Structure 1
Amino acid sequence: MPTRRYTQQARAQAADETRQQILEATRERLRAAPTEPLSVERVAQDAGVARSTVYLVFGSRAGLFEALGRDLLDRTGFRRIADAVALPDARDAVTQALRAAAGVYAAERDVARTIYSMWTLDPDALRGAFETVERGRAEGQERLAERLHDEGRLRAGVSVEEAADVLWIVSSFETFDQLYTGRGLDVDAVAARLAMMAQQALWA
């Protein structure tokens, strides 16, 4: 029995290592060739596995992108955003969530930029990755908007729906990258600008 258990553990570890090799090869391919369509065959070659192994592990090209999206969130500290959203004061939650989001975006900016750019060209393949990230972001901003309203922090005349729309914009990768890359600001400066936008638009 111990030998069998050891064999199962070794197989599980090997499978996880293969999965991580493929994900790392995917990230590196997106960094190295951001304007080229992602080739599963090239990813497999870079990862040192057979093309069929990629499909065995992830099911499809879309499945690979979805797993990549989840992996990026885990690697870049997405937990910090969730922790910030849970702060007791909604204003602090918004400010700290934007700061955490800026750090997440900056950690894998090149890969994120490529994925967002590819979305317009290959939406079917990217749908899973986008839903993984954007559905959670939308729900989070809606909850924060409701909390601002419930705590009496929302500016008069601004509805919960309008507040959620503002938070959606200021928390987006596109807005972050306009400041980070387009304006050349560092992460802290970007976070401060995003927080200022939210405060001036929404705070009572």
Structure 2
Amino acid sequence: MTTRKYTQQVRAVAADETRRRILDAMRDRLRAAPSEALSIERVAQDAGVARSTVYVVFGSKAGLFEALGGDLLERTGFQRIVDAAALPDARDAVRESLRAAAGVYAAERDVARTIYSMWSLEPEAVRGAFEVVERGRAEGQRWMAWRLAEEGHLHPDVTVEEATDILWVITSFETFDQLYTGRGLSAEDTAARLVTMAERALWAPQG
């Protein structure tokens, strides 16, 4: 390996470590002060970097939130939802993706709840984080509703558009948190309730 390539690798590793420290500091700050607007100065201080470094790495506060949204999905096992949604029977795909989503939401519930609640404080800043999470969810529910209809599993009184809206509500963090936090259910019991909601609202009668 040439000296130049080695130096480039060292710099890349250092950049990744800096990015990770900033995101971890942001996550800790959101947990510690969920009702406060996020301070870039404080995040930088907690991460042990200059304030300007945060902007060099992420571009803006909105860019920082967007990166956090993607990082949360990656760290909490979002791939499990993707894998579940690809199951050959659409009903199994709905059931297993709801169970996987409950695990994802529960893993970072405090941070997720803070991000959602910050919409009223800093909508422009958190918009990127919302879009990272919700864009994929919206597309996924449309596809799932279409699959239920295509496979003959959708209730005849429910249109694909209506099924999409129902799945949108059932798969939301807000619905999950109403049961998980509001009702004090475990992640497993919350998932079971959500699966029951989907089955009763969407499944075609058997026989």
Q: TM exceeds 0.5?
A: yes
Q: How far apart, CA to CA, are the structure 2 residues paired with 1:99 and 1:87? A: 13
Moved over 4 A (4+): none
Instruction: Give the alignment of 1:1-204 within 5 angstroms.
Output: 2-204=2-204
Q: CA deviation at 1:83?
A: 0.2
Q: How far apart, CA to CA, are the structure 2 residues paired with 1:132 and 1:29? A: 21
Q: Which amino acid aligns with 1:132?
A: V
Q: CA deviation at 1:89?
A: 0.3
Q: How far apart, CA to CA, are the structure 2 residues paired with 1:156 and 1:124? A: 41
Q: Which amino acid aligns with 2:103?
A: G
Q: How far apart, CA to CA, are the structure 2 residues paired with 1:74 and 1:64? A: 15
Q: Which amino acid aligns with 1:127?
A: R
Alpha-carbon deviations, 1:15-65, whole Å to 9, x = none? 000000000000000000101110000000000000000000000000000
Q: Give the number of equivalent residue pairs.
A: 204
Identity of aligned residues (%): 75
Q: How far apart, CA to CA, are the structure 2 residues paired with 1:37 and 1:121? A: 7
Q: How far apart, CA to CA, are the structure 1 residues paired with 2:2 and 2:184? A: 57
Q: Contact 2:37–2:121 at 8 Å: present in 1 too? A: no
Q: How far apart, CA to CA, are the structure 2 residues paired with 1:27 and 1:76? A: 13
Gaps of 5+ in 1: none
Q: How far apart, CA to CA, are the structure 1 residues paired with 2:119 and 2:31? A: 16
Give SS of 1:37's match: coil
Q: CA deviation at 1:200?
A: 0.1
Q: How far apart, CA to CA, are the structure 1 residues paired with 2:121 and 2:164? A: 28
TM-score when scaled to structure 2?
Answer: 0.98
TM-score when scaled to structure 1?
Answer: 0.99
Q: CA deviation at 1:2?
A: 1.3
Gaps of 5+ in 2: none
Q: Which amino acid aligns with 1:24?
A: D
Give SS of 2:36's match: coil
Q: Which amino acid aligns with 1:179?
A: L
Q: CA deviation at 1:194?
A: 0.2
Alpha-carbon deviations, 1:106-159, whole Å to 9, x = none? 000000000000012211111111000000000000000000000000001100
